[in-house]
Structure 1
Amino acid sequence: MEVNLMWPRRWRWGKALFLVNRYFPMIDSVSTILTGFRVYIFLSPKACTVIYRILVTALNRVCSYSSELTLLLCLHALLGARSMYLATIMATYLGLSLGVNLIQIGFFEEISRTVSLSEFDRELGYACTWAEKISTGSANERVIAGYISLTKALCIFALALFIFLVRYRSQAGTFKLFHVLRRDSGVYILSLTAIRLGTTLIDAFQNRLAWYNTLNQILSGLNYAVVPILANRLLLNMWRTNDPDVRKTVSSILFDPPRPGEDSEDDDEEFGARPIEMVHYEGLGRRRAPAKKETEGASQGGAGATQAAKNGEGV
């Protein structure tokens, strides 16, 4: 579906967000494994700090915000409101996100500090030894940032519930609520918002819990691995929707309009069902000419191939 639906698209917000959600978490996972797991590769303290700040911290933020932006744009498409409301939503989201990151600059700097690789970590196979010294001021700043993140997640969750309420009421009682949720990708939207809300809730009260606790690890894993998948499924469903108002908004913000004769609803089924003809090559990757296909079989097989061709048999 990605190759068939996304790669041919022009570069719009939908394609950019889809590819970021698809591939950036993989890069983030590689950097996390390199700096936090037993890889038996030894790095200098400066290299560990640079990798953590650029690849772990920055990529983690990009992946998280990309999924949230995907959710907000899809919610706006479902709402079908004017662009001024989208501008208000994005301005609020940008302000809260900047507040979260600006407050934590000192915390990010301290948590990424490293020292010379200890003999204990070297024997275990870790690449870095972290200083693990966080000042009281940075810890308090992280708590404040956690409350701001929780506020942002609550706002997104309330927006999602409001939009579904509006769309459900517009049906005048002819559809069940579960049908509206299924039609409008409600499972993906509610799952995504619930995971983000749970993650921010744990972060906001991190000082009252252990630094490494089971619930935090589970929600963090869901946030890193499952949320990007939910966001991309949501994008694909928005692209394939039958609602004309939603399609109009999607075509104006997320994706370019469908090409003539392109049926977005059946692309994935047709792509998976039709047989793929193998391309024949000769020499160093030169595509075999169509006119040579019938004659080459006979010439390569000799007399036996010629006789088989006369008899109508395959070579």
Structure 2
Amino acid sequence: MAAAARLDPKDYFTPEEWAPISTRSWWKGPAMITHAWATIIAAGAMVVVWPLTLPLAVMIIGARQLGLAILMHDAAHGALHKNLKLNDFMGEWLTPGGLRRYRPYHLSHHRFAQQSEDPDLVLSAPFPITRLSLRRKMIRDLTGQTFFKQRFGSFVARLKARKAGEPLAPIVFAEIKAKRRWLAFGALVTAAGAPFGLWWLWPVLWVLPQATWLPLVTRLRNIAEHACIAVNEPDPMRQARTTRAGVIERLLIAPYYVNYHCEHHMFMHVPCYNLPRAHRILARKGYAERMLIEPKGYRQVLALASSKA
């Protein structure tokens, strides 16, 4: 199995430049997690006061749910906190979780980035597709079909495949066990809100964004990062794409510097909050011309990904 080529930071940064870029902060990771949860709570409070703002809140909360997943991703690289025990604790318990399972899988993606052995290649290989096909995918995301398939597809398959006469209870119990953390969070939020008439907080302000906007922005993120890049691309500067993101895109689509994906693959242990600085230094030195960068933003990436006739 041929691993993707690696870059040596010494070839691109002076020691004085590299030291602050590679340094893990003791406070920035926790601050970003606090920001994500505070934004979710603020968006929820906005709906309680002004119910007509629900569509906007769904987009804001869904983007912060993606943001929490991005911060868990940073924890998988040991970049969320300089203390690795705290790094893993925050990545596992202050985000949607799954860090222990995600880390080996994701590091394999980096080891074989855009090579035939890349476990994430299935996400980018189909592109470009037609505009109609992309539209259908986005509709499935926004209508909850993608969420249902990802969350409950295996459960439905087990129900269909169960042998005649096999008791249903073990299958249901296994599904509850697999989703116990998600259900426990829902029970906690519901119990906290019910005495105030806010029993609907979890289904409306967590599950609804999770079932609609989150799948859509996750798809946009996957497309922007690796779609329309050749399989077995040898150049480490072109195995992932950096996409320009304005204020609205950072709020609703690309939180916590996730758009700097080329720099992330070039130097995967750099904390996400230092990627803009790395980008500026590389651009100043003329390396941006060699890197895969989309300066026109996510709209242009979608146009490229849906350019098949």
**Superposition TM-score, scaled by structure 1 size:** 0.22
More helix by share: 1
**Superposition TM-score, scaled by structure 2 size:** 0.22
Which protein is bigger by CA-based radius of gyration? 1
